[in-house]
Amino acid sequence: MELGYPRPQMRRPRWFSLNGSWRFRFDDDRAFLHPSDIKDWPLRIVVPYPPESTASGIGDRGFHCACWYERDFDLALNGDERVILRFGAVDYFARVWINGRLAMTHEGGHTPFAADIAPLLVDGADVRDIDVESLRSQIAFVADDSFLFTASVAENIAYAHQDASLEQIEAAARRAQADAFIRELPEGYETRVGERGLKLSGGEKQRVAIARAFTERKLKFTLPGPMTIADTVADEHYGDRVKLAFALAEALNEEALELEKLGADVIQFDEPAFNVYMDEVREWGVAALERAAAGLKCKTAVHICYGYGIKANIDWKATLGNEWRQYEQTFPYLARSRIDQISLECINSHVPISLMGLLKGKDVLVGAIDVANDRVETAEEVAATLRRALKL
């Protein structure tokens, strides 16, 4: 008697098992952060058996805090179909990379998990052969109502690439099919477009904005954060520091939204006050920061510096001891915030690098240059700071 599939409605037309021989190694020192860090694989393991089992071909019953698996397989995609990679179980925590890209993470002992890995392939190509910045540089957003500065056409096109030559500007305009109408303007590329580009039609403004996108240079703007402004200005109107900060946050938000329309890829708010007023950061500082970033679709960041090389700051920092652990109080709040990136000064700050672990889920930007003195760091010192951060 021929037995059919027990649940035919769940059967997939294409399916194959990844059980079998995998490359394997233990990582007791947690020396590796990414599969590309591993240069040799001393062991082979038979999946699905765990390394403690003799059936796995290893049979090691000792304690190991981390281990790595790797194997290759080929997969051809048909159109827009999904590709579900499923794992039956892992022991507590796992990260899965496909073609060098993080595909999924899972936390929780011995429960199945899965993810669609099709997006990690581009036109069927191995993403390791595709430069990320090159791919991103082919994508740009141009709004229906494109914003132009009160400047010349050339200056608007070169806004994201201010050292662009006239030849590069003209080449970008030709790609955007804007060169012909620009040359018909009274002063060609030197024509002033008026406030917000009012001297051009809507379609002409869009063409200039498209040409600006072809200059292919990422833009990051920094703005002072609402708590820091509130801490440094006199207030005779609100009479309340919190009200002042939220009013400033609303004003900053209008500015940030305009900058996003102009093509900013990252908008960063500088909040040195976050390293002083720990209670206020928890009570309303993070909320004010989120208000300043409300509605932004670009990347958002907050920079928390540890004070500059003025005497008052130097004297104050001397009272903090050998370890500055005050961020233990505020990093969990930033980790739960809607801000994408946290920028920290990490050299000579006395803030333990381990505290970055409290920012789980955030992009952490590591400052490796000490702006509080005139000494130039060596390449080895900068690299050492980055390596300490990368361990997390």
pLDDT of 1 > 60? The answer is no
Distance separating alpha carbons of residues 266 and 300, to the nearest angstrom? 6
Predicted local distance difference test score (pLDDT) of residue 247? 93
* Mean local confidence (pLDDT), 94-99: 86
8-130 against 220-390: fold identical: no
Q: Maximum distance among all alpha carbons in the chain? A: 90
* CA 233 to each of CA 230, 236, 279: distance values in angstroms, whole numbers, following the listed order: 6, 10, 20
Query: If pLDDT is split at 50, 70 and 90, which confidence band does 55 have?
Result: very high
Q: What's this model's pTM, rounded to 2 decimal places?
A: 0.49
Average pLDDT in the chain: 79
Sheet holding 363-367, edge to edge: 220-224, 266-270, 299-304, 341-345, 363-367
Which pLDDT belongs to residue 170?
A: 85
Domain 8-130: assigned CATH number: 2.60.120.260
Both tokens of 308, joined, read: 């500059």
Q: Check whether 67 has a pLDDT greater than 90.
A: yes
Domain boundaries, the chain: 8-130, 153-213, 220-390
Q: Which residue has the tokens 């082919």?
A: 138
The more confident residue out of 3 and 39 is: 39
Q: Secondary structure of the chain: what % helix, strand, coil (to 5)?
A: 35, 15, 45
pLDDT over 70 (residue 17): yes
- The CATH number of the structural domain formed by 220-390 is 3.20.20.210
Q: What is the pLDDT of residue 353?
A: 72
If you average pLDDT over residues 178-184, what whole number do you get?
86
- Give the tokens for residue 47: 């999946």
Question: Once rounded to an integer, what is the mean pLDDT over residues 230-259?
Answer: 88
